[in-house]
Amino acid sequence: MKTNLFRLFMLLFVVAAVPACNDDDDDNNNPTPSTTVQLQATLNAQQEVPATPSAATGTMTGSFDKVTRLLTYTVTYQGITPSAGHIHQAAPGVNGPIIVPFASVATSPISGTATLSEADAVKLLAGETYTNLHTPAFPGGEIRGNITVK
């Protein structure tokens, strides 16, 4: 009798444990999607509006968390001594307002974080933002890079 009860208990245990194992396997095959996207921009004079004759170049890389709306960025540049730098909101080929001012542009790289408004987050993800570095010779911007999701 004890042997039969033990066998029944073991059978019930195995039957209960197998579906639990299968659920774990399903979670491993379908990982939770990331809320973070990677960003990039190539800065040059041709993207400025209007274009400039500058030979300076730069890059912007970063990440954006779609839930917290936290933007993390790094901007590098060569061949320029910027007096200011920002991230602006506007589509390619159009100038727009500043949404993220850079604290300091004295040395490359420029790194920082900013929490975007919901409206600015939508524009960032839609490709309607750009990084701009300004100089005394080109106060409207010497080099620019339209920000895109990788």
Note the pLDDT tens digit of each residue in 118-143.
999 999 999 999 999 999 999 999 99
Note the pLDDT tens digit of each residue in 13-49.
555 554 555 544 455 566 778 999 999 999 999 999 9
Domain count, the chain: 1
pLDDT at 3: 59
What's the average model confidence in pLDDT over 63-86?
A: 98
Residue 113 lies inside a defined structural domain of this protein: yes
Residue 139 lies inside a defined structural domain of this protein: yes
pTM as predicted: 0.79
What's the average model confidence in pLDDT over 104-126?
A: 97
Residue 29 lies inside a defined structural domain of this protein: no
Residue 87 lies inside a defined structural domain of this protein: yes
Residue 142 lies inside a defined structural domain of this protein: yes
CATH number at residue 139: 2.60.40.200
Q: Is the pLDDT of residue 4 over 80?
A: no
Among 136, 148, 87, CA closest to 113:
87
- Alpha-carbon distance 135 to 32, whole Å? 44
Q: Which residues, at least 6 apart from 36, have a Cβ–Cβ distance to it below 8 Å?
A: 63, 64, 65, 66
Residue 124 lies inside a defined structural domain of this protein: yes
Domain coverage including residue 62: 36-149
pLDDT at 31: 73
Residue 8 lies inside a defined structural domain of this protein: no
Note the pLDDT tens digit of each residue in 58-72.
999 999 999 999 999
Element (H, E) at 3: helix 2-29
Q: Which comes out higher in pLDDT, residue 82 or 5?
A: 82
- Alpha-carbon distance 118 to 22, whole Å? 39
Residue 101 lies inside a defined structural domain of this protein: yes
